[in-house]
Amino acid sequence: MVKKWEKLPEEMRTDAVRPYYDILVKKNGSLLLKRVFDVIVSAIMLVLLSPVFFRLVRSYRSNLSLENSDCVCYNRKKSIETYESVR
C-alpha cells in the first residue's frame, strides 16, 4: 500500500518526513486490512440499501411530475390533477 521511499515525490523525501514514513511502513499490513474491510463493507451496504435508493428515486420521479401543477388547456390555467380527471 505504501509507496517506496524512492517513488515518493522529491519534495516529500525530506528528513522531517522520514520518521512518519517509517511508521506508515510498519503499519502497512493493518492499512491493507483496513482497505479490504472498507471495500467489502461498502459493497455489502450498497447491495443492502439499493432497494431503498431505488424506491427513493421512484418516489422522487413520481412527485416531480405533480409539482408542475400548472397546465394551459384551452387558454385557461388548470391544475394537472383537474386536467387528468377530465380525461
Give pTM, 2 decimals.
0.53
Write out the residue range of the structural domain in which residue 75 sits.
Answer: 5-86
* Percent of the chain whose pLDDT exceeds 70: 70
Number of domains comprising the chain: 1
DSSP assignment of the chain equals: -PPPGGGS-GGG-STTTHHHHHHHHHTHHHHHHHHHHHHHHHHHHHHHHHHHHHHHHHHHHHHHHHH--EEEETTEEEEHHHHHHH-
Q: Looking at per-residue confidence, does 39 or 71 come out higher?
A: 39
Asked whether the predicted pLDDT for residue 12 surpasses 80, the reply is yes
Query: What is the tens place of the pLDDT at every residue in 24-45?
Result: 999 999 999 999 999 999 999 9
The amino acid occupying position 81 is E
